[in-house]
Structure 1
Amino acid sequence: MVYLDNNATTPLAPDIIRAMEKCLRENFGNPSSSHPFGAKAKKAVEHARQQVADLIGASPDEIIFTSGGTEANNMAILGTAKRHKSGHIVTSCIEHPAVLKPLKYLEQQGFTVTYLPVDKYGIVSADSLAQSLKKDTILITIMHSNNETGALQPIAEIGKIARERGTIFHTDAAQSVGKVPVNVKKLGADLLTIVSHKFYGPKGTGALYKRKDVEIGPILYGASHEKGLRPGTENVCSIAGVGKASELAGKELRDRVQNMKRLSKMLLDELHKHITGIKLNGHPSKRLPNTLNISFPHVAGYVLLEKLKNEIAASTGSACHEGRQTPSPVLKAMGLGDERALSSIRFSLGRGNTENQIRDATKAIIKAYKSL
């Protein structure tokens, strides 16, 4: 079976498994304890903090470990809002629920939110964003890349606009870190979300980059861990895992990008040759190198995936409600009709995929499609 669902999660890399196993065996201490067992655990946490910082061009004291992307997004958004009694926030209509749901909550608390549209490629206009800013805008939160289409947003442009206006800028880079270069200084980000299991690290662990001079309030209350922003004894071995994943990404990133571009092009080209009328949803080049969101004419995506369930792991953006399929809100926001949106499948490649696997996957897709 060929795994092509790496935007959902990635398998733990062997080097990361070894690092975590070593930590589990040897590093049981509480990092807050003053004795040698605690000191050893704290050293492991701080080493991982440096590894994550190195990957994104940050300082280690700007990295806050969290339980994953949802917590990091909530910390960035709700933590910023806590510094204000009211205000205006700018986002896009294609954000992950871990961004949209906290914003909906803030609207109930009296904040106002502008949801920017996207173009046919699923990309936000930086000019439109600039025009949407108000005197009381306290936060801009725009994803770095979209989880369904891989669309890369103009984050550096937005970061420049935010800096000029003096507005805090958060970007959810859950899908980007470890897949494309991400440098917080070049992007102009004040807050940036990192998710370990999207780049071969463990689930249940992530981080928030917080620029040194940016202040946010806590959303959890307890002891003073993680600069008072994330109370609770640190998950030392998982943190060691995200550190090792970051180190590995830094070493492999150039090769990963080139390999993903080559293999995804191979998959798309072969499907184009054998299936008339397939459509790529998203930008032909301004997208993650591993992501292909493809609509198959006259066939529902979930039906095709069901046919392939023993050969390929992939996903659709549609949802099933009371036995009825509903199209992806992201694809609808791009202007796709229901039929095309419902016929889409996301293939997201990973570092473990090979040419032979892509050939096998392509043959299986073509055979399954033509049998329907």
Structure 2
Amino acid sequence: MPGALSGIRIIEFAGIGPGPFCGMMLGDHGAELIRIDRPGAGLDPRDALSRNRKSVLLDIKTPEGLSAAKALCATADGLIEGFRPGVMERLGLGPDVLIAANPNLVYGRMTGWGQTGPYAQAAGHDINYIALSGVLHTIGVAGGKPVPPVNYVGDFGGGAMFLAFGMVAGLLAVKNGAPGQVIDAAMTDGSALLAGMSFAMLAQGTTSDVPGTNLLDGGAPFYDSYICADGKWVSIGSIEPQFYALLRDKLGLADDPDFAAQFDRAAWPARKQRLAAIFATKTRDEWCALMEMTDVCFAPILSMTEAPAHPHNMARETFIQLGGATQPAPAPRFSATPAPVPCAAPKAGSDNAVLDDLVNR
């Protein structure tokens, strides 16, 4: 069965990390992804980000390669690229050129800083983009340094997923009669928007600008991670009063007056120490036996090698085997147009032999 984006053709100019992630999301749900790779490129079938692609090798700095790239873009519904501002224009593949040739083209551009602004031409990485948006400041323990959340928030959340959303929104706009347009997805913008609730709570006075002291950043004893007797970890998220009451009951603290006023922030540090001592008395499996699948709001903290084997993930087929590796399955789930069975990343240039067919189709 074709996916939700079946019939949509996207040209992807090969890049790293967030660009391929956006392409993966679109390809997972049925879009035809044609990736333009540079000569000498290689694709790894174990890489989830490069699955569901066609690949052509083109040297776009040559007249022949440039002509072929333009011809492909003339057949496309959308294009995604992640170069610094001005690079595609210098190559002769800027939006003015390509949208003039294909007025319905949705031209997706993803950068860290955005297409405009004082930082636009500077190099950077995820840690820098989420630093500037205020997000990195919010992540870390009280009194400690900010902790980079890998590159999930800037590259993938604030960049790739916002570009994917922008592409789908732009494609829907074309379907409803709007012209093609440029999508400017900046990781600073996207990560700032991901923190929308935190900015709202700050404005409302329900959270402070001091990291590690608030409800959702590890400041609360009932919303944190704790080490167990075997050195493994568990997570607790007992925010609502009824869930907090159940947590107290499971821990033998139901009648302890020191835990009565849940939102007494002055008592939080001492309570965290008490809870840490309690969780250290049992193994992770023992805590799972007591709390898993209850309304405590509990889950074991699994490693990346453990997660695919957890019964819940297995029941939902959250992970799949593809290209000789465990990969996350396509998400989200569609009832009428489920994602097609993924195809592993192709060999770079595997579709050069049918390039003429791709251009003429």
| Higher helix proportion | 1
Question: What TM bracket, shorter-length normalisation?
Answer: under 0.3
